[in-house]
Structure 1
Amino acid sequence: MRGSTLSFRLRWLFLVLVAGQVIFSGCSPQNTLKGVFKKQSPYEKYQSSLKDAKLDQTALGQQWLTAGQQALRQPVTVSLPFKETGYFPADKPLAAGYQFTVKKGQKVAVRVQTQGKEVPQVFLNLFEADPENPAQPRQVAYADTTAQSLEYEIDEELPHLLRLQPELLRSGQYTVTIETMPILAFPVKGKDSRAVQSFWGQDRDAGARRHEGIDIFAPRNTPVVAAVEGVVSRVNTTPIGGKVVWLSDTKRQQSLYYAHLDSQLVQPGQRVSIGDTLGLLGNTGNAITTAPHLHFGIYQFGRGAVDPYPYVHQDRTKPADLKVDEKKLGDWARVAKAKVALRSAPASSAQALLTLPQHAPLQVLAGSATWYRVMLPDGQQGYIAASMVEALDRPLQAVKLRREAPLLDASTELAATQKNLPPDTTVRVLAKQEAFWLVKDTEGTTGWIPVEAAR
């Protein structure tokens, strides 16, 4: 029971107006001048085209703008890696918002795949929360119109918001995948973060100092490689570090420190690329009594040492595969059992937002692993276990109307009337909430009726 398709004529007219406005505004001197001072994202360009064509004053245009704002105000909180498959209907503008936190030293990678008869253009925008102004997150990255993916290196460990929104009047299914990855290559050839055996902050010299790095263990003379493109700034020998190499990463305003080398194979001022050999692993300096390993550190300009582990750690966890019925995506459904929790995230440990009664109506927006992301008739979203959701193919009961009743297109007294049903009309009840029931009449039209009309 996905949303009814709008008339071809209306859709054609709306799309022509938007496309024409984009072309016209893109060629105007005013917009050319604006572009000199501020580069707009595809979302912002599309939003401007709606306003320039005064389509933002239409009901559909206003719904589209509101959906984008609501996705940022009320995102769902997810843990990474995360994968979700959902459906965007053509007749009801929707947007998806996801909130997550990524460690400094990592980058977030987002991919979106779409499918459908008329695959929509999907706008992908990433925002960083502003602690001083939570209502106005700062846009930090976006995908261009030719690629449905983006990568962004995290500057601060603040909540980040991802908004996913299709263009108007296009329906389609989408799958969004959000993962993290290190911003640096691993500094020991043939190894990964599983070879780290000593971590940041551990005591050294009986507690006199703290470990300002990580120790990566490997056989002696294993190549130690450049984790980033940069310039070798120093090659020397010290009592603690033994044979060391310093590599300057000017892009990120930091220096990488390689210590306890058995031999150094570069010179100061030498430019290197990722993977170039800097030296061979050993145990020189104060590591002479330990097994061969690389002490790897990161020192940020003006800030000092930071934990290098997130910068080189690759999370090998894969997002869970979808294990729900995709046929329900975009459809209205109902709660299968009594006292079912609507949760803030797709996990049984997530906060319970509400307790839903049996047969309560909900619209299935997306699926993640064994959970559905749903929207209640009042617009609230959350996650519910897929096993607690049932389709509307079997009516709950058939009732005769006691009086004439409007068949509404939403469960509110302000909703539009699709038709008026005369007294004694038999309707099949599909789902129930306190004041309105979702029903289907004898002609197959689905809508909402006031409860008192059926009692």
Structure 2
Amino acid sequence: MSQSILRRFSTRAFPIILVCFLILTGCSPQNTLRGVFKKQTPYEKYQSGLKDAKLDQTALGQQWVAAGEKALQAPVKISLPFKETGYFPAEKPMAAGYQFTVKRGQKVAVKVQTQGKETPQVFVDLFETDPDNLGAPKHVANADTVSSQLEYEIEEEQPHILRVQPELLRSGEYTVTIETAPVLAFPVQGKDSRAVQSFWGQDRDGGSRRHEGIDIFAPRNTPVVASVQGFVTRVNTTPLGGKVVWLSDTKRRQSLYYAHLDSQLVNVGDQVQVGDTLGLLGNTGNAKTTAPHLHFGIYQFGQGAVDPYPYVHKDREKPAALEVDTRRFNAWTRVAKSTSTLRAAPSGTAAALATLARHTPLQVLAGSSSWYRVLLPDGRQGYMAASLVESLEKPLRTLKLKRQAPLLDASEATAAAKRTLPADSSVRVLAMAGDFLLVKEAAGVVGWISTDAAE
């Protein structure tokens, strides 16, 4: 199948392409239409289209499927907020996988931007992992293929994986941004989580009980507002809470508890919207000896109290700006200094994956802050500080081959040969990886040769 046909294959032209292949391949309407009435993600629809068009039997189709699976099985472990820019080459199917953990009560917000001569359609999918079955992540959300954005409320505090993968045979630069946000609005007007001075779990009454909420301090009579759309279930006065209001959040099967109010401005049964005033802040109940504040709690149906802080805390930290040279994306580079560390994440404190010798070749996949995400010849991935990476513009040395040798497209003996280099021909050595050298021959073609050929 020609590359021109493959390039025209995309989900944007999916109906037309599928009809063409139905005629050409003799596929039955039943086979072609399978899954039409089954809800599928854009990724699954595209993959089904590849299969119906027999493109899954091509080398590129198989590489595309394998790249998507690898992104789920071996994702990069990151902390949020996170931002990375990289490049998807048309000639080599690739996918990016990112693993992170977000607290319950937060939502993850993902945005993927692309640019290029022919901007690729990008599939953005979020998965939840099961600690007892890491080999089968559960799909929980996907981005709209037009906007490439998604928001998802975390239901369980366990690792999640984001997979970003473009369609076949479209190249382009991409930027993925992953941030968190609270699922509830802050309950005190004009304030944010910096006003919290007493947290969940702290001792109360000499250690006889624990604090089942957070205390938010503000001037007396500051409006206390609805953090969610819901209805008022209780308005009363208690010895501990003083003047209190209970608000039902049926969407999340929980109740919000507002205590120590100076006054209550709603009635049982009232329907409220986010930001509506429920009462005015005070220090009634057992808070009469303290400064005015709101005690805010969350009680989940059938489970009891949970820490409300993640539900209202907005992280003000922004992802670090990109500081690396984007011209190196999709290019081979090499380690510039001896004993450089390959790390699991773009941080000097991240786990060390390997110690690399000077002149080890690295293919740059992407960049985050002052770090490159790189691919080693043996398939390992990790992050390398940009200061430890250099270009291949200046050869390490020039050598003559002792005998005829194949110029390989990968650093392994079974790799395909780009051409055969004659004995006594000169090559410039660009990098070294085990028993192979990355070289450039006289015509400018770059490839790999065995060190045996140079002896």
| TM-score > 0.5 by shorter chain | yes
Structure 2 residue 382 is matched with structure 1 residue 382: yes
Q: Residue in 2 aligned with 1:262?
A: 262
Instruction: Give yes or no for the alignment of 1:169 onto 2:172.
Output: no
Q: Deviations over 1:253-281 (max 9, x none)?
A: 00000011111111111111100111110
Give me the whole-angstrom Cα distance separating, in 1, the residues matched to 2:362 and 2:383.
11
Whether the 8 Å contact between 1:375 and 1:382 is mirrored in structure 2 is yes
Deviation at 1:15, TM superposition (A): 3.1
Aligned to 1:350, what secondary structure does the other structure show?
coil
Aligned to 2:80: 80
Q: How has the CA–CA distance of structure 1 residues 332 and 195 changed in structure 2, closer, same or farther, with 3 Å as cutoff?
A: same
- Whichever residue aligns with residue 332 of structure 1, its letter is W
SS across alignment from 1:137: strand
User: 1:56-455 alignment to 2 at 5 Å?
Assistant: 56-455=56-455
Deviations 1:28-86 (A, max 9, x none): 677767354x4211111111111111111111111111011001111111111111111
2:6 is matched with which residue? 14
In structure 1, C-alpha distance between the alignment counterparts of 2:210 and 2:109, rounded to whole Å: 33
Q: Structure 2 stretches of 5 or more lacking a match?
A: 23-28
Q: Deviations over 1:108-130 (max 9, x none)?
A: 11111111111111110100011
Q: CA deviation at 1:23?
A: 4.5
Deviation at 1:189, TM superposition (A): 0.2
Q: Tell me how far apart the structure 1 counterparts of residues 18 and 212 of structure 2 sit (CA, whole Å).
A: 54
The separation in 2 between residues aligned to 1:254 and 1:432, in whole angstroms, is 60
TM-score by length of 2: 0.95
- Please say if residues 261 and 294 of structure 2, whose CA atoms lie closer than 8 Å, have aligned partners that are also in contact: yes
**SS of the counterpart of 2:133?**
coil
CA 1:323–1:171 in structure 2 vs 1: closer, same or farther (change >3 Å)? same
8 Å CA contact retained: 2:111, 2:150: yes
After superposition, what is the alpha-carbon deviation per residue over 1:196-243, rounded to whole angstroms, capped at 9, x for unaligned?
Answer: 011101111111111100000000100000000111111111111111
Could you say if the C-alpha distance between residues 445 and 30 of structure 1 is closer, same or farther in structure 2, counting changes exceeding 3 Å? closer
Contact kept in structure 2, 1:21 and 1:53, CA below 8 Å: no
Q: Distance between the aligned counterparts of 1:280 and 1:18, measured in 2?
A: 57
- Structure 1 counterpart of 2:176, which letter? V
SS in 1 for 2:134: coil
The separation in 2 between residues aligned to 1:244 and 1:378, in whole angstroms, is 63
C-alpha distance in 2 between matches for 1:170 and 1:430? 29
CA distance, structure 1, for counterparts of residue 17 and residue 170 of structure 2: 22
1:409 Cα deviation (Å)?
Answer: 1.0
The 2-side partners of 1:98 and 1:227 are apart by 31
SS of 1:354's partner is strand
Q: Does the CA contact (< 8 Å) of 1:41 and 1:144 recur in 2?
A: no
**TM-score of the superposition, structure 1-length normalised?**
0.95
Report the CA distance between 1:451 and its aligned residue.
1.1
Amino acid at match of 1:379: G
Deviates more, 1:71-80 or 1:15-24: 15-24
Other structure's SS at 1:70 match: helix
Q: Distance in 1 between matches of 2:329 and 2:374?
A: 9
Identity %: 68
Residues 447, 11 of structure 1: alpha-carbon distance in 2 compared, 3 angstrom cutoff: same
Q: Is 2:9–2:17's contact at 8 Å kept on the other side of the alignment?
A: no
What's the secondary structure of 2:70's corresponding residue? helix
State the alpha-carbon separation in 2 of the partners of residues 323 and 17 from structure 1: 35
Q: CA deviation at 1:289?
A: 1.0
Aligned partners of 1:200, 1:18: CA distance in 2, in Å? Answer: 51
**Root-mean-square deviation (Å):** 1.6
